[in-house]
Amino acid sequence: MKLYEAPSPNAKRVHVFMAEKGIDCERVTVDLRAGENLSDEYRSKNPGARVPALELDDGTVIAESVAICRYFEVTHPEPVLFGSGALEQATVEMWQRRAEIGLMLNVAMAFRNISGYFKDRETCVEEWGRVAAGHAVAAVPMFDARLADSRYLAGERFSIADITLAVTLQFARRVQVELPEMENVARWEAEVRERKSYKAK
């Protein structure tokens, strides 16, 4: 089993998830700056040309970070990270989607359109990047309000929703998308960052 990866929030999301489950595998670094992900060889494995991608021992490739995590949730069911029972699973999915769509996607769009990193491979629109950054800023109070009454996003149990939010906040700092500092998010993030899984490489 091989995990094709590069330094990114989605790869970090899979790393933390795997560490929580006690899973390890061979890791292959894909050089995004050199366009290695756009090569015919890599596209033959993952036509989406993104990282991470998980290649199983039989050659099957699973792309998209949440899909990889869902695979591991079934193959390694403990600890539970997608919730147990209808209500908890729905709550995890709700906050996972909010973190991914409301925050992670907007931070990524701000980075892609403002940084200049992608200007040689796609059309970048700085104005849209600024709008996306504004959407990300506007999303933070929702998480802060939730964490005022809940240890973790989906309740008292750590889940993939927490992983997604944590890696997104870290990513935002790295790409200089300034998000508001809020008390409950700060308390929660400090706890998450102390988990062994989050510190794992």
- pLDDT digits 0-9 by tens, 180-195: 999 999 999 999 999 9
Q: In this predicted model, what pLDDT tens digit does every residue of 54-87 receive, in sequence order?
A: 999 999 999 999 999 999 999 999 999 999 999 9
Quote the CA–CA distance of 172 and 179 in Å, as a whole number.
7
| Domains identified in the chain and CATH numbers | 2-75 (3.40.30.10), 85-199 (1.20.1050.10)
Percent of the chain with pLDDT over 90: 87
Residue 59's alpha-carbon distances to 44, 62, 66, 83, 117, in angstroms, are 11, 10, 19, 29, 32
Q: In this predicted model, what pLDDT tens digit does every residue of 145-164 receive, in sequence order?
A: 999 999 999 999 999 999 99
For the entire predicted model, the pTM comes to 0.94
